[in-house]
A and B are shown apart, each in its own frame.
Chain A
């Protein structure tokens, strides 16, 4: 080829030389682009279990789907969600089917104010909290220069519009527990809104690598003057002035019995926001059962306690070992509703199956992550043969509550 003047210099083509939309997928041959050509971090948040929150879709409610008359703090209805309430109104907390349309959610957590408190005492709060184990947070690389930022996403709906605060509260005392608060606004009454909030990583303080509580996510839905009116900190800060914790919280959902608030689709993840991670029901349940394991019957049914083994220690005492369905966070506390569970034994001296005693809360002190050993006394007489094994534990017919194992944070 001949040229007029100098021969043009060949210049490599760069991506900026290509007009957007010029190259379509059909222009690229199948299997042409390999994973090695994709820069690290370009495709974010594709890993399983990216959501630090457990039960963010409020689908698991082992304790029950509704609790009325809530005036104090504790775990109410939806698993893993701790309700902070220090006499700031009275609420019914429930698992609701009111959800944002077309987003894939089936349930939400609902606050329904049933007794108002428009003038709360200084230290009163109505908060929603989830607590996290430190060993599950190590990958965030806090306390290093590579600390990951965190993005919180959630859907919320309330008749109470205005400014709300939501914070990450560090819980490990060494070197110093720190917190970072953000604010968001509910703009339209009674309308589902999606909020996305980013928290910088904490390069100074990290998390203990153990099964204890290291970080809390805390939503304020109202609080007394102790916790508000201060200055919104823009960086991770030491606990100091309580008024700085939720300084711009302008709403109190306890101020009228007309108030309702719903929340679902809560996701806290490293890096930028991504679609909510829906987990299969069984996986979600097992993640919750690390903290609470509840075995109960259905109305009219009896349920055999899975895997329980019984040993007759004396003529009127049986040791019953009940395994946990998944290893629990710590040795759990145990409870059994009165009369809810009975022991059924095949006893050498009493070959007919029968109910010999009702399970109580006794424990022989060998509870651990994997199971619990219980001491069960016969309801009357000496029906057992010491040294014999066998039998079953089961819930009593028609009883909806049975064993509860609790290892919550």
Chain B
């Protein structure tokens, strides 16, 4: 079960989200690409649709 999702910004490109950091209930952390064919990405979209919020801390 997903407990936390945070946007990961591309280290060089300005304001470009590169992937999601996802933390699961068992403590595992995964980097999930922005690919609609990826089932973890699909699960994040479902998690968002359930009213959860993605943490967004863009680099200054």
Given contacts A313-B11, A365-B19, whether A331 and B31 have CB atoms under 8 Å apart is: no
Query: What are the residues of chain A within 8 A of B47 when measuring CB–CB?
Result: none
Known: A334-B30, A365-B10. A329 touches B19 (CB 8 A): no
Stretch at the interface among A148-156, A256-264, A297-305, A401-409: A401-409
- A361 touching B21 by the CB < 8 A rule? yes
Contact of A330 among B12, B17, B19, B38 (CB under 8 A): B38
Q: Are B18 and A364 in contact (CB under 8 A)?
A: yes
A375 and B17 CA atoms in complex are apart in Å by 13
Residues of A193-227 at the interface with B, using a CB-CB cut-off of 8 Å, are: 211-212
Secondary structure at the A interface, as helix, strand, loop or mixed, is: loop
B17-A365 in contact (CB<8A)? yes
| A334 CB contacts on chain B under 8 angstroms | 30-31
Q: A313-B12, A375-B11 are in contact. Are A362 and B31 (CB under 8 A)?
A: yes
B-facing mask of A366-409, CB < 8 A → 1, else 0? Answer: 11000000110000000000000000000000000000001111
Complex Cα–Cα for A313 and B39 (A) = 30
Most buried by B among A313, A366, A367, A374: A367
Q: Is the CB of A331 within 8 A of B38?
A: yes
* Minimum CB–CB distance for B31 against chain A, Å: 4
Interface string of B11-44 (1 = CB under 8 A from A): 1100011110110000011111111011111000
Q: Of A211, A317, A408, which is within 8 A of B11 by CB?
A: A317
- In the complex, A363 Cα to B8 Cα: how many Å? 8
Name the residue of chain A whose CB is nearest to the CB of B29.
A361
Check B37 against A367 for contact (C-beta < 8 Å): no
B28 touches A365 (CB 8 A): no
Pair A333/B31 contact, Cβ less than 8 Å: yes
CB of B26, distance to nearest CB on chain A (Å)? 9
Shortest distance in angstroms between B22's beta carbon and chain A's nearest beta carbon? 8
For A65-96 the 0/1 string (1 means CB < 8 A from B) is 00000001000000000000000000000000
A335 engages B19 (CB within 8 Å)? no
List B contacts of A407 (CB < 8 A). Answer: 38
Instruction: Write the nearest CB–CB distance from A402 to chain B, whole angstroms.
Output: 14
Q: Is A357 an interface residue (CB 8 A)?
A: no
Q: Is the CB of B12 within 8 A of A367?
A: no
> Which residue of A329, A333, A365 contacts B40 across the interface (Cβ within 8 Å)?
A333
In the complex, chain B residues whose CB is within 8 Å of the CB of A335? 28-31
B33 touches A329 (CB 8 A): no
Check B18–A365 contact: CB distance below 8 A: yes
Cβ–Cβ contact B35 & A367, under 8 A: yes
Known: A364-B18, A365-B16. A333 touches B32 (CB 8 A): yes
Please measure, in the bound complex, the distance between the C-alpha atom of A406 and the C-alpha atom of B11, giving whole angstroms: 23
Contact call B21/A409, Cβ cutoff below 8 A: no
State A329–B8 Cα separation when bound (angstroms): 23
A330 close to B31 (CB less than 8 A): no
Q: Which residues of A contact B30 (CB under 8 A)?
A: 333-335, 361, 406
For chain A residues 344-372, which have a beta carbon within 8 Å of chain B? 361-367
- Contact of A265 with B by CB under 8 A: no
Question: Quick one: closest A residue to B1, CB to CB?
Answer: A72
B37: contacting residue among A313, A317, A330, CB under 8 A? A330
Contact flags A317-349 to B (C-beta < 8 A → 1, else 0): 100000000000111111100000000000000
Return B42 CB to nearest CB of chain A, in Å.
10
Q: Is the CB of B8 within 8 A of A331?
A: no
- Asked if residues B8 and A362 are in contact (CB atoms below 8 Å), the reply is yes
Residue from the set B18, B19, B32 with the largest chain A CB neighbour count within 10 Å: B19
Complex Cα spacing A365 to B30, Å:
13
List 24 interface pairs A-B (beta carbons < 8 Å), by A numbering.
Answer: A72-B1, A313-B12, A330-B35, A330-B37, A331-B33, A331-B35, A331-B37, A333-B41, A334-B30, A334-B31, A335-B28, A335-B30, A361-B21, A363-B33, A364-B12, A364-B18, A365-B8, A365-B16, A365-B17, A365-B33, A366-B18, A367-B33, A374-B31, A407-B38
What 4 A-B pairs are tightest by C-beta distance, nearest first? A365-B18, A330-B37, A331-B35, A331-B33
Assuming A211-B37, A364-B10, A406-B40, what are 16 further A-B pairs, CB within 8 angstroms? A72-B1, A330-B35, A330-B37, A333-B22, A333-B30, A333-B32, A333-B41, A335-B29, A335-B31, A361-B29, A362-B8, A363-B31, A365-B19, A365-B33, A375-B11, A406-B30
